[in-house]
Amino acid sequence: MKRMPFDLLVVFLAMIPLHFASSETLPSTNSTKCHEQERSALLEFKQSFFHVKSSVCGRYGRRLKLESWKLEDRDCCDWKGLDCDEGTGYVTGLDLSESCLFGPINSKASLFRLAHLQSLNLALNDFNYSQIPFAIGDLVELMSLNLSSSSFEDQIPSQVLKLTNLTSLDLSGSNELELRNPGMETLVQFLTKLEHLDLSSLNVSAPVPDAVTNLSSLTSLVLQGCNLQGTFPTTIFKLPRLQLLDLSCNLELSGHLPEFDLGSPIKSLFLSETNFSGSLPASLGNLAFLNEFYIGHSNFTGNVPSSIGNLTQLTMLDFHHNKLSGEIPSSLGKLVQLSYLYLEMNLLSGEVPASLTNLTNLTFLYLSDNQLTGQIPAEITGLTRLTQLDLSFNRLTGPIPENISNLKSLQYLYLRSNKLNGTLRLDVVLKLQNLTLLQLSFNEFSSIIEPGMNASFPNLSFLGLASSNLSELPIFLSYQSSLKELDLSQNKICGPTPLWFLTMSTSQLEFLNLSRNSISSFTTLNWSTLLTLDLSYNNIQGLLPIPPMSIYSYLVSNNNLSGDISPEMCKLSSIILLDLSNNKLAGVIPPCLSNLSNTLAILSFNGNDLYGSFPQLQNDVCQLEMIDVSGNQLQGSLPTGLANCSTLQFLNFKNNQIVDTFPSWMGSLSYLKVLILHSNRFHGAIGEPEARDQFPNLRIVDLSMNNFSGSLPSGYFDMWTAMKVHTADDAHYYEAYMPINPFFLDYVIYDYSMTIINKGILLEYKRILAYLNVIDLSSNNFIGEIPNSVGSLIELRMFNLSNNALTSSIPLSLANLTVLESLDLSSNKLSGMIPLALAQLSFLAFFNVSDNHLSGPIPQVNQFTTFKIDSYGGNLGLCGVPLTKKCGNPVETPPPPPSGALAEKLNWKIVLMGFGSGLVIGAVMGLNMTSRIERRFMRFYRGWQRRRMHQIRFV
């Protein structure tokens, strides 16, 4: 779990195998001839694997070792990859790592006749998901066994337990391999001489056993990505020889750091992406040999102890994305060997210590996403080796240091979202010859001086000047030919787009964000490589500009565009996101747009004047995940071709003129979460589901203001299982991650939005929290009773049945909806009493039963003490506060309200839903990485990617 600079990522992908093993050939000797039976065993082994054509070897393929094994060559001890005992002539070492061995291997393999093997390395081959052969246990003299990244699967055989002389065991890199029976506990009880144990990527799915503490010779323990559970035994940190401990990427592994003793030999600690928590002990300072220390993306709290300054051997320090608070200790300035310092995404406050400017070996300094104040220390310009400096998302003030141009090695400078002010000398900053990325958006610079800036900056590929008080497009851009990404959103750029701008970086530009300006026209587009164009929230008039064929994401929402959607749009064969919402586009949606369904994931046309019917899909392939055509005048019926859109999550046809019955055929769309059909001409009974498990993921269903009739769909209520289960990780939004460059390494987040009636008010949700569960069937002609089964939808937040013709009483089962915030049953024909049990609903903030035939006392406890008279009007039989009518019968008097503290607590719980941080859901598009190694890679870098992603967010 080492962090990688952005520019090395691609290189790293190609180099992954090197990470697992080195493939040096063992020295061979010619002093003794090898034994004939071993020689023939080896030749037989070669034969069994050598028939595979070298062309299938792929990028790891090298067969140099096996090629040196020749029938005519008597002394096998000379062969590459072999080591023999000088005295006995027996083969003791075999290294066939990265030798393009392909195909299954079993216990009959001649390899297992090499009874004197002490070292066996078969790493980085492809044994095609066979089991590790039982016969491995016959090689009892083995001291070193390396089977890493060799595509073995299934349980590790118990015969491995016979290898009690093993000092080094590497089974890493095969995530189909399991260690359950025997588990890790048994393994370490038998293999007591282990010094190196690497089980990375293995499916362990269990706690780390205490027995590991008995491995007194252990020097390295690598358990990266093993799905470890439980609490890590702290005593393992104290193993007398332990130098390397890697537990990274075990999100369910909790633990604490112990008090460390002086003299601890630990050199490398990797605890990133775990659930380790607690504080960093002052005794950390005792780890005098510590060289690399990674705890990024874990759950540590408290201060960074100043004793950290004792760790003078440190070269890498990664504390990013924890909850560390307090000031950055100035003692960090003593770590003069440090080349990487990552403290971003914590709660650190105070100033950037001037002492950091002593760290002259620093190449990466990331302090972003904290609460740092004060100025950027001027001396920072002495860090001449810095290649990446990220101070973004803090509260830094003052100017950018004048001598910034001393940072000759600087490639990335991120300063966005601070309160930096003064005049920004862009010409000075851009003097940095190596600068490729400059992100200055969202600061408070008074002006950006560019006197006579007419230079071209051939290295500059990313420029962020969003929210920088620009009143026009900076002319120096016309000299740039290498820009790939340009963000000028949220400025005051007005008027038509000048011609020179439209010819800037025409063969390079991939990302252009001009949203939230006052641009009035935008026409020809010459950028032949453009992937993302965001022009939303401007004042662009005229016809819809047609983006280049290369486009992935095109946003022009909230402008003044008029005219038709040109059929030219149907040629955008790569498009993933198309947002034309809130313009004045009229006419019929061109039927050919349905051709785009095999790439298009997001289609947002809402708030225009489109009429006619929604195009029927022409092909069976449909990648659509989100369709919003609300607020148009679409007619006809719902296009049944959408049944092919198996990934559809969000469908909004609100405020159109669709004439249809309930689309029960959508029930098989198992990802569908949001279905909004408000105010159309839907009619007829919803009826009962015809199959099982219909709409299993539905969470928001709004069928209000139609002509649905018949009884309420109780059979469907039973099937809407997503509203029945509480999932802990629901605190994310409906959003899509849109790739913004061809490598899919950077993303922007596109939020889904909607307006619905909540708590009696029309509310716009610019982002939708995934746990918002809503049923709105109001203003239809539903009759009959409210089915009891509603009570099983225990995660329901809003329930609106108002303006129907429902009869009978309010079911008691509604009291089971313990997170319900809004309940509207008004304007029906409900009778009977308001169940007292509803007073248990401690989140209930809106309650309306007005205009029914209810009778009896109004509950007088908890939430019910907050509802006003409007909630109850038009029910002649109701009595008690807030109505003026007193209740006569003392038997009906409810119990007294709970005493102060409890009542207060209950009321206090009427909190609005908070805003969590966005996590990946649904659409991670373009992640077409198929090989296991690449998937593994993606997992490791998830945290890092998230950081990058949040650099830019659509609207």
Ligand X SMILES: *[C@@H]1O[C@H](CO)[C@@H](O)[C@H](O)[C@H]1NC(C)=O
| Residues near ligand X, by CB under 6 A | 30, 140-141, 165, 275, 277, 285, 299, 306-307, 309-310, 331
Exposure of 947 by Cβ count < 10 A (0-12 exposed, 13-18 middle, 19+ buried)?
buried
1 is written with which tokens? 């779990």
Residue 633: how many other CB atoms lie within 10 Å: 13
Q: Is the peptide bond before 689 cis (omega within 30 degrees of 0)?
A: no
Q: Which is nearer to ligand X, 257 or 627 (CB)?
A: 257
Q: How far is the CB of 831 from ligand X (least distance, A)?
A: 47
Distance CA 946, CA 297 (A): 11
Q: How far is the CB of 72 from ligand X (least distance, A)?
A: 14
Distance CA 291, CA 316 (A): 7
Q: Is 196 helix (H, G, I), strand (E, B) or coil?
A: strand
Q: Which is nearer to ligand X, 83 or 628 (CB)?
A: 83
Distance CA 253, CA 236 (A): 14
**Residue 667 identity (one-letter amino acid):** G
The distance from CA 681 to its chain's CA centroid, rounded to whole angstroms, is 39
**Residue 237 identity (one-letter amino acid):** F
Q: How far is the CB of 290 from ligand X (least distance, A)?
A: 13
Q: Which is nearer to ligand X, 117 or 627 (CB)?
A: 117
Cα-based distances in Å from 590 to 172, 584, 613: 54, 16, 10
HEC string of 527-568?
A: CCCCCEEECCCCCCEECCCCCCCCCCEEECCCCEEEECCCHH
Q: How far is the CB of 34 from ligand X (least distance, A)?
A: 13
Q: Which is nearer to ligand X, 8 or 140 (CB)?
A: 140
HEC string of 866-893?
A: CCCHHHCCCCCEEECCCCCCCCCCHHHC
Q: How far is the CB of 337 from ligand X (least distance, A)?
A: 15
What is the per-residue DSSP string for 500-523?
TGGGTTTTT--EEE--SSEEEE--
Q: Which is nearer to ligand X, 79 or 462 (CB)?
A: 79
Cα-based distances in Å from 236 to 275, 292, 530, 621, 884: 17, 18, 53, 53, 71
Q: How far is the CB of 259 from ligand X (least distance, A)?
A: 14
Q: Which is nearer to ligand X, 28 or 826 (CB)?
A: 28
Q: What is the dihedral of CA 104, 110, 115, 117, to 10 degrees?
A: -60
Q: How far is the CB of 729 from ligand X (least distance, A)?
A: 9
932 is written with which tokens? 């296991």
Q: Which is nearer to ligand X, 208 or 585 (CB)?
A: 208
Which H or E element spans position 44? helix 36-50
Q: Which is nearer to ligand X, 253 or 703 (CB)?
A: 253
Q: How far is the CB of 419 from ligand X (least distance, A)?
A: 30
Q: 625 φ, ψ to 5°?
A: -115, -25
Q: Which is nearer to ligand X, 731 or 783 (CB)?
A: 731
Q: Which residue blocks in 342-451 are alpha helix, DSSP H?
A: 426-429
- Which residues, 6 or more positions from 899, have their beta carbon under 8 angstroms from its beta carbon? none
Q: Which is nearer to ligand X, 138 or 824 (CB)?
A: 138
Q: How far is the CB of 45 from ligand X (least distance, A)?
A: 22
Query: How do 196-198 and 220-222 pair as beta strands?
Result: parallel
> How does DSSP classify residue 901?
H
Q: Which is nearer to ligand X, 277 or 482 (CB)?
A: 277
Q: How far is the CB of 7 from ligand X (least distance, A)?
A: 31
Q: Which is nearer to ligand X, 210 or 729 (CB)?
A: 729
Structural contact between residues 758 and 702, judged by C-beta atoms closer than 8 angstroms:
no
- Which residues, 6 or more positions from 574, have their beta carbon under 8 angstroms from its beta carbon? 549, 550, 551, 552, 599
Q: Which is nearer to ligand X, 299 or 361 (CB)?
A: 299
Distance CA 36, CA 231 (A): 52
Distance CA 647, CA 671 (A): 6
Q: Which is nearer to ligand X, 310 or 461 (CB)?
A: 310
Structural contact between residues 545 and 512, judged by C-beta atoms closer than 8 angstroms:
no
Sheet with 707-711: list strands edge to edge. Answer: 659-660, 681-685, 707-711, 781-784, 805-806
Q: Which is nearer to ligand X, 225 or 548 (CB)?
A: 225
Distance CA 149, CA 146 (A): 9
**Across 240-321, where does the E strand assignment appear?**
244-246, 250-255, 268-270, 274-278, 292-294, 299-302, 316-318
